[in-house]
Chain A
Amino acid sequence: MTSAASAIEVRPGTGEGVAVRCRGVTKTYGSGGSAVRALRGIDLDVRAGELLMLVGPSGCGKTTLISVVAGVLDRDGGECEVFGADFEKMGSTERTRYRGKNIGFVFQSFNLIPTLTITENVAVPLLLNGVPRKAALARSREILTQVGLGDRTGEAPQRLSGGQQQRVAISRALVHEPKLIVCDEPTSALDHETGHKVMELLRGVAMGSGRSLIVVTHDNRIFEFADRIAHMDDGRVDRIVTSAKDLYGD
Chain B
Amino acid sequence: MWCGSNPVWSSKGKEQARRMNLIALKMIFGDRAKFFGIVMGVTLASLVITQQGAIFIGLMSRTFGFISDAGFPDVWVMDRKVQFIDDVKPLQDTKLYEVRGVEGVAWAVPLYKGMIRARLENGQFQNCNLIGLDDATLVAGPPEMVLGRLEDLRRADSVIIDVIGAEDKLARPPATPGGPRIPLTVGDSLELNDHRAIVVGICKGSRTFQSQPNVYTTYSRATTFAPRERKLLTFVLVKAAPGLDPEVLCDRIVRTTGLAAYTRDQFKWLTVSYFLKYTGIPINFGIAVFLGFTIGTVITGFMFYSFTIDNLRFFGTLKAMGVTNGSLMRMVLLQAFVVGNIGFGLGVGVASVFGSSMKESQLAFKLPWQLLIVSGAAVTVICVASAMLSMRRVFILEPAVVFKG
Contact = CB atoms under 8 A, between A and B. Distances in A.
A66 B29 CA distance: 34
Contacts of B20: 127
Contacts of A97: 5-6, 9, 12, 322, 324
10 contacts: A72-B400, A73-B399, A84-B2, A92-B324, A96-B319, A111-B313, A125-B321, A128-B16, A133-B22, A172-B321
B392 interface: no
Given A115-B27, A124-B23, A96 B322 contact: yes
Given A67-B400, A107-B403, A109-B405, A116 B321 contact: no
Contacts of A92: 324-325
Nearest to B315: A113
A22 B272 CA distance: 76
Contact of B321 (A17, A99, A114): A99
B326 interface: yes
A37 interface: no
A85 interface: yes
A231 interface: no
Nearest to A83: B2
A70 B321 contact: no
Contacts of B27: 113, 115-116
A194 interface: no
Closest 4 CB pairs of A and B: A100-B322, A115-B30, A72-B399, A84-B3
Interface string B314-338: 1011111111111000000000000
B398 A127 contact: no
> Which of B5, B314, B322 has the most chain A CB atoms closer than 10 A to its own CB?
B322
Contact of A107 (B5, B15, B322, B402): B402
Interface string A71-110: 0110000000001110000101110111111000101110
B155 interface: no
A227 interface: no
Interface in B362-405: 398-400, 402-405
A100 B321 contact: yes
Interface in B241-298: none
> Which of A96, A115, A120, A128 has the most chain B CB atoms closer than 10 A to its own CB?
A96
A115 B320 contact: no
A93 B15 contact: no
A109 to B, nearest CB: 6
Given A96-B319, A111-B314, A127 B5 contact: no
Interface of chain B, main secondary structure: helix
Interface residues of A, number: 40
Nearest to B4: A85
Interface string A157-185: 00000000000000010000001000010
A96 B30 contact: no
A163 B189 CA distance: 92
A117 to B, nearest CB: 9
A111 B6 CA distance: 28
A28 interface: no
A4 B172 CA distance: 106
Contacts of A85: 3-5
B400 A73 contact: yes
A115 B29 contact: yes
Given A72-B400, A127-B23, 7 more contacts: A85-B3, A90-B5, A100-B322, A108-B405, A115-B30, A120-B23, A128-B322
Contacts of A115: 26-27, 29-31
Nearest to B30: A115
Contacts of B136: none
A130 B12 contact: yes
Contacts of B314: 111, 113-114
Contact of A113 (B2, B23, B320, B400): B23
Interface in B7-22: 9, 12-13, 15-16, 19-20, 22
B1 interface: yes
A250 to B, nearest CB: 32
Contact of B325 (A93, A120, A127): A93
Given A114-B30, A115-B27, A124 B403 contact: no
A105 B19 contact: no
Contacts of B3: 83-85
A105 B4 CA distance: 21
A129 B319 CA distance: 13
Contacts of B22: 133
Contacts of A93: 13, 324-326
A100 B286 CA distance: 51
Contact of A70 (B6, B320, B398): B320
A180 to B, nearest CB: 11
Interface string B218-258: 00000000000000000000000000000000000000000
Contacts of A98: 5
B23 A99 contact: no
B19 A66 contact: no
B2 A125 contact: no
A84 B1 contact: yes
A111 B314 CA distance: 7
A98 B5 CA distance: 7
A56 to B, nearest CB: 15
Nearest to B314: A113
A92 B328 CA distance: 13
A128 B23 contact: no
A72 B401 CA distance: 9
Interface in A113-146: 113-116, 120, 124-125, 127-130, 133
A17 B3 CA distance: 13
A127 B317 CA distance: 15
